[in-house]
Amino acid sequence: MSLPIVELRNVNIYQGSTLVLNNVNITVNKGEFVYLVGKTGTGKSSLLKTLYGDLQLTTGEGTVVGHNLRDLNWKTVPFLRRNLGVVFQDFQLLTDRNVNENMSFVLKATGWKDEKLMEEKISDVLEKVGLKTKGFKMPFELSGGEQQRMDIARALLNSPRLILADEPTGNLDPETSDEIMQLLFHICKDYDTTIIMATHDYMVIRKFPARMIRTELGKVGDIASLEMV
């Protein structure tokens, strides 16, 4: 039986005092790839922020990688995030540090101390995303696709059970988008990593079909096909 990695029951999601999503009920299991679709402003980012502890959950019940979202505070959020990887559309890389230094910064921030183990881990994730020879490059020396691979490598550093990807192909050309999607599906399948990916790009979904969850009119639910989007 599959284990739930994300489970939300009767959850309301707020931005400040504004109700964004009402009565959310979602289960996402280990090793699943799920698209989160919906128009801009319908709550996709708010849902992702709730899952990685950026928005406090105040009503309903929610667990993410075994952590109770209702119990999170500034002390416990880092423990949740050690089990998560987050991939952003705009990469959010440290532009004044090379690839290896970007990776090292994340490891130190999440409690790693042994330099040799850190070097081995960085080498491992860069090899997984096809950047093994690029460790000493600065972000500006990389193409857009390579920067996104670097962002995915960073998300893999703590061997996460869940990756949350927010429009990871949004700034990429179609060919590079395909490469990034192949990489994400490879990570999902080969490492049994759950991936929830917010996207507007229905061409990507057509090429790489998977379960879809839609945000619309304050609600969240599964949809059967692209024709219903």
- The domain made up of 1-81+196-224 has a fold known as Rossmann fold (3.40.50)
Model pLDDT, residue 1: 53
Strand residues in the chain grouped as ranges (E): 4-15, 18-29, 33-37, 59-64, 67-68, 84-87, 162-166, 194-198, 211-216, 219-223
Listed residue (148, 146, 129) closest to 186, CA to CA: 129
Please report the DSSP string for 7-48 in residue order.
EEEEEEEEETTEEEEEEEEEEEETT-EEEEE--TTSSHHHHH
Model pLDDT, residue 91: 59
Listed residue (209, 153, 203, 198) closest to 173, CA to CA: 203
Residues of the chain with pLDDT under 70: 1-2, 89-91, 225-229
Model pLDDT, residue 2: 65
Model pLDDT, residue 103: 95
Listed residue (32, 68, 15) closest to 195, CA to CA: 32
pTM score of the predicted model: 0.91
What residue type is 22 in one-letter code?
N
Scan for tokens 């990429």, then name that residue: 172
- Which residues have CB under 8 Å from 97's CB, separation 6+? 105, 138
